[in-house]
Amino acid sequence: MKILIVEDDKNLRELMLKALVDDHYMVETAAQVREAKMKIDIYDYDCILLDIMLPDGSGLDVLRQLKAQRKAAGVIIISAKDSLEDKVTGLDLGADDYLTKPFHIAELCARVKSVFRRKQQNGEHFIECGNVKILPETRQVLINGKPMELLKKEFDILHFFMTRPERAVSKGTLAEAVWGDYIDQADNYDFIYAQMKNLRKRLSEAQADIEIKTVHGYGYKLEQR
């Protein structure tokens, strides 16, 4: 899952970044409204942690742009402001949660997981497709109830597709979601082919009744056999 932290306090931003990376999220950061708007205009995120008070304006303007573009990212507003007006404004604009500074990093991580459960897992702690079940918070994969071991990127790819069943996804979108926006510098997508080959083999050997099919000239799509 891909997260954008929009926070101008460098120490807090790096603390949040480390905690979320340790929780196996793909995380990017921005310190200003302008930078955040540029990122959400180009890239898609699953969750945005958004400070309101930024050096060049209000984080609420980032939220307004996000909703105007009909992007589906969950949003947790993070601000030192604790007034009812700020909370109501943010929630009315479409934010999913509000966390007041100072906060414990453990609470932040718990709220991120809660947003993911509500928006992508129907409130459940697992995602299920066919005879395959994954538990994102513990990074477990079960096929017919039996555990299957996957490498980190293999799990990330499977997780990505299981939240988008039957939807064709371009190679570029997949690369950006799993490897981050620095993927723009890559010359080709050969690294995706290698990871996809290994994942397909593991799913087949474990007798999964789902498969990730190639959409020729475009990308991939997860289908049930």
Boundary-marking domain end, from 106, 121, 136: 121
Domain count, the chain: 2
**Are the C-beta atoms of residues 180 and 160 closer than 8 Å to each other?**
no
- Same domain (yes/no): 45, 144: no
Q: Domain containing 150 — which CATH number? A: 1.10.10.10
In a shared domain, residues 101 and 158: no
Tell me: do 48 and 100 sit in the same domain.
Answer: yes
Q: 61 with 154, same domain? A: no
Tokens of 30: 């921005």
Rounded Cα distance, 215 and 217, in Å: 6
Beta carbons of 3 and 47 less than 8 angstroms apart: yes
Give the end of a domain, one of 87, 106, 121: 121
Q: Does 134 lie in the same domain as 111?
A: no
Q: Which residue, 121, 146, 171, sits at the end of a domain?
A: 121
CA distance 135 to 180: 22
For residues 167 and 68, membership in a common domain is answered with no
Residues 106 and 166 in one domain: no
Question: 53 and 7, same structural domain?
Answer: yes
For residues 69 and 111, membership in a common domain is answered with yes
CB-count exposure of residue 120 (10 Å: 0-12, 13-18, 19+): buried
CB 164 within 8 A of CB 223: no
Which range marks the domain in which residue 174 is found? 127-224
Q: Would you give the DSSP letter of residue 184?
A: G
What distance in Å separates the CA atoms of residue 133 and residue 145, rounded to the nearest whole number? 8
Assess whether 85 and 145 both reside in one domain: no
Would you call the peptide bond into 165 cis, given omega within 30 degrees of 0 as the criterion?
no
Same domain, 109 and 201: no
The one-digit pLDDT tens for each residue of the chain (225 residues) are: 889 999 999 999 999 999 999 988 889 999 999 999 999 998 889 899 999 989 999 999 999 999 899 888 899 999 887 667 777 888 898 899 999 888 999 999 999 988 888 877 666 678 999 999 999 888 999 999 999 999 988 999 999 999 889 999 998 888 888 877 656 555 567 788 889 999 999 999 999 999 999 999 899 999 988
- Collapsed DSSP state (helix, strand, coil) of residue 95: coil
CATH assignment of the domain containing 30 = 3.40.50.2300
Could you identify the residue written with the tokens 């050969």? 190
Residues 44 and 114 in one domain: yes
Does pTM surpass 0.75? Answer: no
